[in-house]
Amino acid sequence: MESTNSTITEYVPSVIILAPWVIWYVEGAALQIGPWFIGTCVELFLQGILMMQTADFFSYKDPRGQSKRFVWLVLVLNVLCLIKTAQNIKIVWATMIANYANPDVSLMLIGVDWSHYSAGLSTAIIAVYVQAFFIYRYYLLTERWYICVFMSLCTTVSLVAAVLVTYYMPKILHAKIRMWSLVHFVSAIVVDTLITSCTAWHLQRRKSAVQSTTELIDRLTRLVWQTALPPTICVIINAVVLESRPIELTHMTFNIILPKLYAISLLYTLNSRNDIRSEQESAGTTGYYITTDNRRGTMLSGSTNFTSGADVSSGGGVTSLKVGEDRQALSGFGFDKETDLELNRLEATKRVTFDFKQDLVPNRK
């Protein structure tokens, strides 16, 4: 049988003539195509974390049997994030597979394919969605509406700037795209910084001599910084890279993962809120513990809802408790209004008295 090798002609490489600007695109694929691929891989990993956080949120069982709060907030957030993930996959597929041998088309997709030029807008929508939640929480915490209005204006400017970037992208107007991109990022940075610093500052101002209140405020302050730093740092890096390397797409890596960082920060906040509620419920199953003269006791009666770690000072046979500080300090962190754990608008130093011998007995634990 005749060898099949004899039928194979001598190998002749293909000759593809590329325009100079396409040669630049192909030779710089690591900086023009690579960021899309790397960003999508990291984004898929973060999507897995987000799904685990969502499962944790829905697995929480309210000890009081009340309906869950923020269910629709979480559901809508997950839908937005799944759409964003699908968009990123479509971009990578169109760039690296569908137009693998056609770099001219791959390069022009940024201006003709909606999934490409709307990538920044989809990121901005998720960012504004999460920022609105944290602004709402800050309002419940402080009721300083004027600061919340300023934050809301900044988020609006950020979203409008993202819309303008999307509008100018198909027109390939680089100067306007760069200008409005900078406006978008600066507005987002201002909002994130204000939300984080103002919330942490207000919590620290509510500290008191009550150890339980101080410990809980310190815990919540750490939570504020832990949830805010990742997306804020990512936005800053995104803006710096875009301004320092405007003709590359390196910044797209950070732009792609940014919405997932925002979403995870929101879910982590809600899950931490549930953890705190569970701990408070566990501590309150037999009453609230108070401390006086190195003695621990359990309040067995009384119509007033006391908070854990109330300040106790005794005089004669009557003990006076200072209550309400925990609630005033931690209002806005999402505790149910119908339960004793609601930390909403009570007087900061409401004082009540009760008979020490009748209403307080030593804790046997």
Length of the chain: 365
Nearest to 103 by CA among 196, 23, 205, 13: 23
**Which pLDDT belongs to residue 211?**
63
Burial class (CB in 10 A: 0-12, 13-18, 19+), 269: buried
How far, CA to CA in Å, does 101 sit from each of 105, 178, 249? 9, 30, 20
Say whether 297 sits in a helix, a strand or coil: strand
**Which pLDDT belongs to residue 149?**
94
How far, CA to CA in Å, does 247 sit from each of 24, 120, 170, 181? 11, 16, 16, 13
DSSP-derived letter for residue 5 is G
**Which pLDDT belongs to residue 155?**
95
Say whether 294 sits in a helix, a strand or coil: coil
H/E stretch holding 93 reads helix 71-93
Residues 224, 231: Cα–Cα separation, whole Å: 12
Q: 292 in the Ramachandran plot: left (φ > 0), alpha (ψ -120 to 50) or beta?
A: beta
pTM score of the predicted model: 0.73
- Number of helices (H) and strands (E), helices first, in the chain? 13, 6
What are the φ and ψ backbone dihedral angles of 177, each rounded to 5 degrees?
A: -60, -45
**Which pLDDT belongs to residue 212?**
65
Contacts of 310 (CB under 8 A, 6+ apart): 210, 288, 290, 321, 322, 323
Contact 309, 213 (CB under 8 A): yes
For the chain, the C-alpha Rg in angstroms (whole number) is 28
Contact 234, 258 (CB under 8 A): yes
Residues 119, 181: Cα–Cα separation, whole Å: 12
DSSP-derived letter for residue 10 is P
Residues 122, 188: Cα–Cα separation, whole Å: 14
Tokens representing residue 19 in the block: 């325009």
Residues 4, 272: Cα–Cα separation, whole Å: 68
Contacts of 267 (CB under 8 A, 6+ apart): 50, 53, 54, 56, 57, 74, 77
**Which pLDDT belongs to residue 248?**
79
Residues 245, 233: Cα–Cα separation, whole Å: 18
Say whether 45 sits in a helix, a strand or coil: helix
How do the pLDDT tens digits run along the chain, 365 residues long?
A: 455 555 556 777 777 787 887 887 778 778 888 889 999 999 999 999 999 999 998 888 766 655 577 889 999 999 999 999 999 999 999 888 888 878 877 877 777 788 888 888 999 999 999 999 999 988 988 888 999 999 999 999 999 999 999 999 888 788 888 899 999 999 999 999 999 888 888 887 776 655 666 777 777 778 888 888 899 999 999 999 988 887 778 888 999 999 999 999 999 988 888 877 777 666 554 333 333 333 333 333 333 343 333 444 444 433 333 334 444 444 455 444 333 333 333 333 333 333 333 333 333 33
